[in-house]
């Protein structure tokens, strides 16, 4: 924390981690009140599970985290249904697939019964006797499973060894947890555990994501005491929702757009107020808006650039020059960083042309539109996109249908355009 105390802050106001599920996280989440309201309304009022869609870095995880904090804070017997967030965030692993996911979910629900046992009991819900499973989940045997993780941390791997002799061995745990949920939330609809399935973009394609969701349609998506928030970037959730087998299981996605410039500045100001010890922020509102425009309204990328600039200031021993001095230095620093990206070796003239055309097209392209981008065929266009990706300027989409620019690509374009901010 030395750099931040030197600069007059308790911690970095530009931290790119998702906001914590605390009162501080709630204060720092700006411009998302309508999204939280829509998310909670769908969870409490629909039999379908909630889906969220938005570009990487737009703030989806922070939105879900703060919504979970609010649900937990507001849960009591007088507000039905109660909605109790499960701390674990779930992802689909390539190895193990849906079987591994389902096993992790039931372990997480078992842990949630332990976590919320006293609250549920005080609200008059039937609660299972969890002492034995608590002991089992935290036993040295489970902790020491080869290659695995303490079940209290909800990991799963390795062999079961002696655990097969346990009353709560793997095959019986799912049935036990299902019975607990059914008994606790009776009548149906009076309460739920809320789970998050995040980062579906880690799967290979939209078809893969849809296949995974179809596989869990009649298992964990059908559990009456569980509500799900399914999250992914770049259109895959919307594609999956259209699947006939998933009709009635998933709501239409809540679209999370980038924050407006005014809300982004208010988010920065909230962070400065929260963590300031009276120092002048390295990047204030004016500089932040400048970066936010250059980086195409990506909040995470903008915060990362702010932090990088802050470290540069500290490394150079530049402290206490005031907001105007910081702004001039920021513009100079950004030009230098952008020039480095635009001087990337190994990028052909055709690839640079593709990057410029992508920038003029909103930052993305589809390979089927090769003729519109001046290429003779899809293969040549993809080769150029791959060349840009190898230089960290673009990323090819998971379904290999096109590419999109990443932050360093926008910085390279900023340099190539003469340091002018593009407005498309």
Three-state DSSP string of the chain? CHHHHHHCECCCCCCCCCCCCCHHHHHHCCCCHHHHHHHHHHHHHCCCEEEEECCCCCCHHHHHHHHHHHHHHHCCCCCCCEEEEEEEEECCCCCCHHHHHHHHHHHHHHHHHHHCHHHHHHCCCCCCCCHHHHHHHCCHHHHCCCCCCCHHHCCCCCCCHHHHHCCCCHHHHHHHHHHHHHHHCCCCCCEEEEEEECCHHHCCCHHHHHHHHHHCCCCCCCCCCEEEEEEECCCHHHHHHCCHHHCCCECCCEECCCCCHHHHHHHHHHHHHHHECCCCCCCCHHHHHHHHHHCCCCHHHHHHHHHHHHHHHHHCCCCCCHHHHHHHHHHHHHHHHHHHHHCCCCCCHHHHHHHHHHHHCCCEEEHHHCCCCCCCCHHHHHHHHHHHHHCCCEEECCCCCEEEECHHHHHHHHHHCCCCCCCC
Does 278 reside within a domain?
yes
200 vs 222: which has the higher pLDDT: 222
Residues 238 and 375 in one domain: no
Residue 39: cis peptide before it, omega within 30 degrees of 0: no
Query: Residue 418 corresponds to which tokens in the numbers above?
Result: 């003469």
Q: Which residue has the tokens 């250059």?
A: 294
Residue 13 has pLDDT above 80, yes or no: yes
Between CA 299 and CA 58 the distance in angstroms is: 6
Split at pLDDT 50, 70, 90, the class of 358 is very high
Residues 197 and 290 in one domain: no
Residues 402 and 334 in one domain: no
* Last residue of one domain, picked from the residues 255, 290, 317: 255
| pLDDT one-digit tens code per residue, 23-63 | 999 999 999 999 999 999 999 888 899 999 998 899 999 99
What per-residue string of b and e applies to 139-158 under the rule 16 or more CB within 10 Å gives b? beebeebeebeebeebbbee
Residue range 140-152: mean pLDDT, rounded: 39
Residue 144 has pLDDT above 60, yes or no: no
Does 303 reside within a domain?
yes
| pLDDT one-digit tens code per residue, 67-76 | 989 988 887 6
Does 115 reside within a domain?
yes
| pLDDT one-digit tens code per residue, 79-138 | 678 889 998 988 876 555 788 888 899 989 999 999 999 889 888 898 887 776 677 666
Does 421 reside within a domain?
no
**CA separation, residue 300 to residues 41, 240, 288, 413 (Å):** 27, 26, 12, 19
- The domain that holds 178 is classified in CATH as 3.40.50
Residues 325 and 354 in one domain: no
Residues 189 and 311 in one domain: no
Between CA 378 and CA 380 the distance in angstroms is: 6
Does 358 reside within a domain?
yes
Q: Supply the pLDDT for residue 157.
A: 38
- The domain that holds 366 is classified in CATH as 1.10.10.10
Residues 289 and 334 in one domain: yes
Residues 337 and 356 in one domain: no
* Last residue of one domain, picked from the residues 341, 365, 393: 341
Residue 146 has pLDDT above 60, yes or no: no
Report the chain's mean pLDDT, rounded to a whole number.
85
Does 18 reside within a domain?
no
Residues 172 and 247 in one domain: yes
Query: Residue 402 corresponds to which tokens in the numbers above?
Result: 């096109």
76 vs 309: which has the higher pLDDT: 309
Q: Supply the pLDDT for residue 165.
A: 43
Range of the domain at 399: 349-416
Between CA 173 and CA 175 the distance in angstroms is: 6
| pLDDT one-digit tens code per residue, 223-238 | 999 999 988 766 666 6
Residue 282 has pLDDT above 80, yes or no: yes
82-90/50-53 β-pairing:
unpaired
Residues 185 and 315 in one domain: no
Does 247 reside within a domain?
yes
| pLDDT one-digit tens code per residue, 248-274 | 888 888 999 999 999 999 999 999 999
Residues 251 and 278 in one domain: no
Tally of domains within the chain:
3
* Last residue of one domain, picked from the residues 201, 226, 255: 255
Tell me the pTM: 0.85
Between CA 154 and CA 145 the distance in angstroms is: 13
| pLDDT one-digit tens code per residue, 312-348 | 999 998 877 777 889 999 999 999 999 999 999 889 9
Residue 304 has pLDDT above 70, yes or no: yes
Residue 171 has pLDDT above 60, yes or no: no
Residues 132 and 245 in one domain: yes
Which of 176-190, 252-266, 274-288, 292-306 has the weakest average pLDDT?
Answer: 176-190
Does 6 reside within a domain?
no
Residues 50 and 123 in one domain: yes
Please answer whether residues 111 and 180 qualify as being in contact, where contact means their C-beta atoms are separated by less than 8 angstroms: no
Q: Which residues are registered as beta bridge partners of 51?
A: 230
Residue 288 has pLDDT above 90, yes or no: yes
């Amino acid at each position: 924390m030395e750099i931040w105390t030197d600069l007059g802050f308790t911690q970095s106001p530009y931290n790119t981690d998702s906001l914590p599920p605390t009162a501080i996280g709630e204060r720092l989440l700006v411009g998302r009140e309508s999204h939280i309201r829509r998310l909670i309304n769908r969870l409490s009022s629909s039999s379908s599970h909630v889906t969220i869609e938005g570009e990487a870095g737009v703030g989806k995880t922070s939105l879900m985290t703060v919504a979970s904090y609010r649900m937990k804070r507001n849960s009591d017997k007088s507000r039905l249904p109660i909605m109790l967030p499960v701390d674990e965030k779930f992802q689909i692993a390539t190895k193990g697939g849906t079987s591994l996911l389902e096993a992790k979910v039931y372990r997480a629900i078992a842990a949630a019964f332990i976590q919320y046992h006293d609250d549920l009991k005080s609200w008059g819900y039937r609660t299972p006797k969890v002492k034995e499973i608590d002991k089992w989940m935290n036993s040295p045997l489970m902790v020491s499973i080869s290659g695995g993780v303490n079940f209290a941390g909800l990991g799963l791997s390795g062999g079961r060894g002696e655990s097969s002799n346990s009353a709560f061995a793997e095959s019986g745990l799912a049935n036990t947890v299902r019975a607990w949920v059914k008994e606790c939330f009776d009548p149906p609809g009076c309460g739920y555990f809320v789970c998050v399935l995040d980062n579906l973009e880690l799967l290979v394609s939209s078809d893969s994501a849809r296949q995974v969701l179809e596989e869990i349609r009649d298992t964990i998506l059908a559990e009456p005491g569980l509500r799900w928030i399914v999250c992914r970037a770049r259109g895959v959730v919307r594609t999956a929702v259209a699947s006939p087998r998933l009709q009635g299981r998933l709501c239409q996605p809540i679209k999370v757009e980038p924050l407006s410039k005014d809300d982004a500045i208010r988010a920065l100001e909230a962070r400065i107020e929260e963590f300031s010890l009276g120092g002048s922020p390295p990047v204030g509102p004016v500089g932040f808006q400048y970066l936010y425009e250059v980086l195409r309204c990506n909040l995470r990328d903008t915060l990362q650039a702010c932090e990088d600039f802050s470290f540069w200031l500290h490394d150079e021993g530049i402290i206490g020059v005031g907001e105007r001095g910081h702004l001039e230095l920021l513009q100079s620093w950004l030009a230098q960083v952008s020039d480095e990206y635009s001087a990337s070796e190994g990028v052909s003239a055709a690839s640079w042309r593709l990057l410029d055309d992508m920038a003029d097209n909103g930052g993305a392209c589809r390979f089927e539109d090769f003729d519109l981008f001046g290429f003779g065929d899809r293969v040549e266009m993809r080769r150029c996109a791959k060349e840009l990706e190898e230089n960290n300027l673009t990323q090819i989409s998971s379904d290999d249908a096109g590419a999109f620019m990443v932050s360093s690509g926008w910085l390279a374009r900023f340099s190539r355009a003469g340091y002018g901010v593009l407005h498309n």
